[in-house]
């Protein structure tokens, strides 16, 4: 039987991949999300205090659902460790220039494409299949760069030309903040900036990614051709449902 296509192949083929953000350092919460019908999970380590060990255990709980780790920064050690832990890819915040994108790719790929270090890890079956893993890892590890600063908008034509970049994931909140319009996603200049990133990324044949807090905000993006979607956050799901239940019962009149 043929293996199902890996996450990076699906991303590069333009398949629509619906995910959500797992930010709670809880394998149980990750397991609930992983069994709720998502194509992938966005594991958060930029805006959540998840440790590498917690991220690895969250991935174990997700079982066959591909997990892509959003790193806290561009550091070589973060990139290497995320992939060694078995992540299907990395999402790197604030990639604002082609030089930064090239450095990210170099840290994510084994030689000759890059200079990722080799070690016994979960990704190679704890040493059971180091050789086969090294042979296939470059082709199977997705590199997603975030365009979420006005500087990235200015450099997007060069960023998308960097070999090894698979997807540009727009961070609308940071992007709007860098334009001094925090959260004003309907502002014409913010809309124009997002449209420019999207047009250049699509013309380069790369996948486009987006985060939003609700399906209503995601649906227009799907219609525009965004394919890698992270909708919602575990904490928001919990918060919204918890508030709705308490409000309904506490305000009940008989
Ligand atoms: C942003 O909106 O800044 C993000 O990074 C969303 O993931
Ligand atoms: Mg951001």
Contact indicator for 142, 90 with CB cutoff of 8 Å? yes
**DSSP category for residue 237:** H
Q: Which candidate, 103, 102, 47, 53, places its Cα nearest to that of 70? A: 47
Paired tokens of 207:
């996948």
Q: What is the pLDDT of residue 77?
A: 98
Residue extents of the structural domains in the chain: 7-250
Q: What is the pLDDT of residue 231?
A: 98
Q: What is the pLDDT of residue 1?
A: 52
Ligand closest to 209 (CA) is: 1
The residue whose C-alpha atom lies closest to atom 5 belonging to ligand 1 is 171
* Catalytic member of 47, 136, 149, 155: 47
Size of the chain, expressed as the number of residues it contains: 254
Question: Which parts of the chain have pLDDT scores under 70?
Answer: 1-2
Whether omega for the bond prior to residue 84 falls within 30 degrees of 0, making it cis, is: no
Determine the Cα–Cα distance for residues 117 and 108; give it in Å rounded to an integer: 9
- Which run of H or of E encompasses 66? none
Paired tokens of 111:
């030689």
User: How many angstroms from the chain centroid is the CA of residue 171?
Assistant: 10
Residue range 7-250 forms a domain whose CATH class is alpha beta
pLDDT tens for residues 98-129?
999 999 999 999 999 999 999 999 999 999 99
Give the SS3 label for residue 134.
helix
Q: What is the pLDDT of residue 4?
A: 79
The residue whose C-alpha atom lies closest to atom 6 belonging to ligand 1 is 171
Residue ranges with CB less than 5 Å from ion ligand 2 = 148, 171, 174
User: How many angstroms from the chain centroid is the CA of residue 136?
Assistant: 21
Tell me how far the alpha carbon of residue 118 lies from the centroid of ligand 1, in angstroms: 31
Q: What is the pLDDT of residue 5?
A: 84
Tell me how far the alpha carbon of residue 46 lies from the centroid of ligand 2, in angstroms: 8
Determine the Cα–Cα distance for residues 129 and 118; give it in Å rounded to an integer: 12
**Residue 47 known to be catalytic:** yes
Determine the Cα–Cα distance for residues 194 and 207; give it in Å rounded to an integer: 14
pLDDT tens for residues 52-85?
999 999 999 999 999 999 999 999 999 999 999 9
24: number of Cβ within 10 Å: 20
30: number of Cβ within 10 Å: 27
Contact indicator for 123, 114 with CB cutoff of 8 Å? no
Paired tokens of 177:
């903040």
Ligand closest to 212 (CA) is: 1
Determine the Cα–Cα distance for residues 206 and 208; give it in Å rounded to an integer: 7
The residue whose C-alpha atom lies closest to atom 4 belonging to ligand 1 is 171
Q: What is the pLDDT of residue 200?
A: 98
CA angle at residue 182 from 181 to 186, to 5 degrees?
A: 65
């Amino acid at each position: 039987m043929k293996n199902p296509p890996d996450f990076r192949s699906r991303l590069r083929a333009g398949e629509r991949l619906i995910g959500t953000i797992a930010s709670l350092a809880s394998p149980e919460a990750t397991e609930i999300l992983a069994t709720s019908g998502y194509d992938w999970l966005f594991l958060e380590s930029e805006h959540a205090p998840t440790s590498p060990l917690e991220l690895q255990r969250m991935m174990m709980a997700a079982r066959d659902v591909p997990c892509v780790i959003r790193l806290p920064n561009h550091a070589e050690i973060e990139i290497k460790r995320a992939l060694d832990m078995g992540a299907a890819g990395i999402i790197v915040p604030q990639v604002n220039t082609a030089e930064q994108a090239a450095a990210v790719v170099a840290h994510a790929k084994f030689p000759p494409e890059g200079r990722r270090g080799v070690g016994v890890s979960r990704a190679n079956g704890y040493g059971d299949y180091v050789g086969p893993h090294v042979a296939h890892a470059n082709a199977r590890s997705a590199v997603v760069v975030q365009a979420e600063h006005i500087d990235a908008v200015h450099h997007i034509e060069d960023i998308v030309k960097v070999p090894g970049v698979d997807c540009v994931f727009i961070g609308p909140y940071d992007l709007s903040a860098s334009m001094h319009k925090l959260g004003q996603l309907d502002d014409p200049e913010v809309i124009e900036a997002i449209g420019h990133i999207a047009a250049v990324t699509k013309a380069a044949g790369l996948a486009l990614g987006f985060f939003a807090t609700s399906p209503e905000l995601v649906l227009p993006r799907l219609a525009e051709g965004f394919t890698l979607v992270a909708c919602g956050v575990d904490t928001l799901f919990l918060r919204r449902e918890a508030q709705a239940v308490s409000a309904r019962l506490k305000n009940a009149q008989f």
